[in-house]
A and B are shown apart, each in its own frame.
Chain A
Amino acid sequence: MSSALDWLQFVLAPQMVNGLSIGVAVVLMALGLTIIFGLLDVINMAHGEFYAIGAYGAVALIGLGMSFWWALALTPLLMAVLGYVTERGLIQRVFHSKDRHTLTLLLTFGVGIVLEDVLKIVFGANPLRVEAPITGATELVGLFFPNYRLFVMAVGGLLIVAVWVLVFRTSLGAIVRAAAFDRYMSASLGVPISRVYAATFAFGVALAGISGVLLAPIYSVFPTMGRDFVLIAFSVVIIGGMGSIKGAVLAGLLLTQVQSISSLFISPVWNDPLLFGIMVLVLMWRPQGLYGKLGNA
């Protein structure tokens, strides 16, 4: 009996807390993706690279002598500008074509490849380091956990709530949801649709950027880092329901728990097959995902 309790406390509980800290990272990535998809109907294949640019932005700003906190505050603003420009300059150009889905997917895919190589040329291929601004670890009921990860979980949680409030409890959010629900009706009611699109894309990119800064001290910074979370974030968005915020949060936390707990029993190499197996099953039996689209939520 006591050994079972020991197992719960020293093996299962830490594993679940670890899973939760990875889960928050995944949800942050998935949120930006799902918002962009929910409103613009654009599958942003460059999302991972925007995450990487966020991390490199922090490296550059800290290199200029700024503190981590300034970098954390400034990077998302710069990323929003980059996102706005990308939407107006590139996506908007193919957006109104008949083959919008294919074209925007290919366009963002290409943008992602270009951005990855630009990072390699500017910063070099070797990994870089961002020092964690908070060090040390906290012991909670026999659980040993780094303070910086606790901080990331807290900030991540706050961000998730803030995004939810912004989308569902403010008039700005109402405009976005209305535009997602019926763009022609919203336009005829005076909503500046194309600017709402660009701003929403910018918001999604800023979310990717802030995730990049937050996670840089844990996962280190290198040109291909964008591929890390983007695949799992895509499957989270698909399982949660393309464009659903609630779905992304729920699916993100659930899937990372499945991964964490399953790796206690089977080799962690099976993590990815397991994850994408679940995605395939969801697509077969409930192709719309757990929840519907942003406009309908």
Chain B
Amino acid sequence: MKTKLMTTLIAATFTVGAQAQTGPIRVGVVTPLSGTYAGIGQQVKWGLDLAAKEINGGGGVMGRQIELIYEDEEANPAVAVQKAEKLFQVGKVDFLTGTVNSGSTLAVGQVAERNNRLIATTVSFADSITADKCSANVFRVNARAGMQSAALADWMASTKPNANVFYLGPDYEMGRSTVAAFKSAAESKGAKTVGEVFAPLDNKDYSPFFGQMRSARPTVIYTSVAGNDTVRLFTQMAEFGLNRNVQVVGASGTVTSQNLKAIGSAADGFVTGVGYSTSIDSAENKKFVASFEAANKAQPDLYGADSYGVLFFYKAAVEKAKSTDTDKVRTAMRGLQWATPQGIKTMRAGDHQAMQDMYAVKVNGGKFEIVGKVAAATAIGPDACTKF
């Protein structure tokens, strides 16, 4: 009796297994389609849709089509967890991506662990995701904050050696951690700190800080404010002539295509470190930018480029593993090399952080120009993951 039941169960498992291996490969996307980060979610969707179309048009992955299933996480980790659980349990997705907010990525990573599935983020910057909070089920294909700081610090050390740097960050977790990260990267390359100040988020007027900034006589000002705060800070700095003879640098989220127009000429000369720029001079990137623009009537940014790349990462891993089985795909992903618009990326086996060349870009007349490049191996920094 018992044996018969077992046989039936095993047979049932095999049937389900066989079925799953022939239908389309289901990829879940939990991303903010509404709310503050809707602009980022839009880029994620554009990038993924374009990649899925190209992969499916070229015969799919091992002959199977890719099917994308979207869920709106509203940039809220609690919602992201529910939607991810739903996609794993009900949607039976093989792989999941799309989380933007670092809190969502960490929370969804735990859901993936419980469901024995793999996820990859294409946007989240927080270093911890592939360091002290790393997970065997979580991969990151985009550059983390530390790599962006390394690229910027390297550019600063070569163009403004031994700079006197003043730091201005928004007063919350992200602001303080970005300032701390860049400060240590800059100081290790000889820069001196002459002052730092943290302004409240959604600050109206930065002029009360300008006296302090001026009297510190910095040669470089680093800031990690974002969104509307950047518009005000830069407009007011120009108003008070504070950016004259001073190099302004900052986090990669400080000046984006969303606020660049409103900052206007006050953004000129701003330099940041990023993992992607539309002006990367390679055949792959030119082809990617052209098809992205044709499909979406907008330019890709770093989020769009990395979300485009993640499906090729998954495709390469599945083809190497010859399976969509979680353990086999995980093994295939470790150390995997795959082609992206930024060139060949390598997934570091020890912490699941992608290695890639990093760029310093400068705003000039409303466009980002590449002014420096740091090799992947130099930018990535030590492996701090001890969990697997």
Within 8 A of B (CB), among A133-188: 137, 144-146, 148-149
Q: Report if A42 contacts B (CB, 8 A).
A: no
A221 to B197 Cα, complex, angstroms: 25
Q: Could you say which of A125, A126, A129, A137 contacts B264, with CB atoms under 8 Å apart?
A: A129
User: When the two chains form their complex, are residues A220 and B239 in contact, meaning their CB atoms are under 8 A apart?
Assistant: no
User: When the two chains form their complex, are residues A146 and B239 in contact, meaning their CB atoms are under 8 A apart?
Assistant: yes
Interface readout for B331-358 with A: 1 if CB under 8 Å, 0 if not?
0000000000000000000000000000
Question: Which residue on B lies nearest to A14, using beta carbons?
Answer: B211
A101 to B235 Cα, complex, angstroms: 40
User: When the two chains form their complex, are residues B204 and A228 in contact, meaning their CB atoms are under 8 A apart?
Assistant: yes
Q: Report if B102 contacts A (CB, 8 A).
A: no
Q: Could you say which of B211, B231, B258 contacts A220, with CB atoms under 8 Å apart?
A: B231
Q: Report if A254 contacts B (CB, 8 A).
A: no
Using Cβ atoms and an 8 Å threshold, which residues of chain B touch A145? 240
User: When the two chains form their complex, are residues B235 and A220 in contact, meaning their CB atoms are under 8 A apart?
Assistant: yes
Partner-contacting stretch, out of A15-23, A204-212, A245-253 = A15-23
Using Cβ atoms and an 8 Å threshold, which residues of chain B touch A15? 208, 211
Using Cβ atoms and an 8 Å threshold, which residues of chain A touch B197? 268
User: When the two chains form their complex, are residues A219 and B241 in contact, meaning their CB atoms are under 8 A apart?
Assistant: no
A229 to B205 Cα, complex, angstroms: 11
Q: Could you say which of A19, A127, A260, A263 contacts B259, with CB atoms under 8 Å apart?
A: A127
A137 to B207 Cα, complex, angstroms: 14
User: When the two chains form their complex, are residues A127 and B262 in contact, meaning their CB atoms are under 8 A apart?
Assistant: yes
Selected A-B contacts with CB under 8 Å, 24 pairs: A11-B211, A15-B208, A18-B207, A18-B210, A22-B205, A126-B258, A126-B262, A127-B231, A129-B231, A148-B239, A149-B239, A217-B235, A219-B205, A219-B232, A220-B262, A222-B231, A222-B262, A229-B204, A267-B171, A268-B199, A268-B208, A268-B209, A269-B200, A271-B200
Q: Report if B263 contacts A (CB, 8 A).
A: yes
Q: Report if A132 contacts B (CB, 8 A).
A: yes
Interface readout for A118-129 with B: 1 if CB under 8 Å, 0 if not?
000000011111
Q: Report if A69 contacts B (CB, 8 A).
A: no
A168 to B204 Cα, complex, angstroms: 33
Using Cβ atoms and an 8 Å threshold, which residues of chain B touch A267? 171, 198
Q: Report if A10 contacts B (CB, 8 A).
A: yes
Interface readout for B63-89 with A: 1 if CB under 8 Å, 0 if not?
000000000000000000000000000
Q: Report if A258 contacts B (CB, 8 A).
A: no
Using Cβ atoms and an 8 Å threshold, which residues of chain A touch B209? 268
Q: Report if B228 contacts A (CB, 8 A).
A: yes
A228 to B202 Cα, complex, angstroms: 8
Known A18-B207, A219-B232: A146·B240 in contact at CB below 8 Å: yes
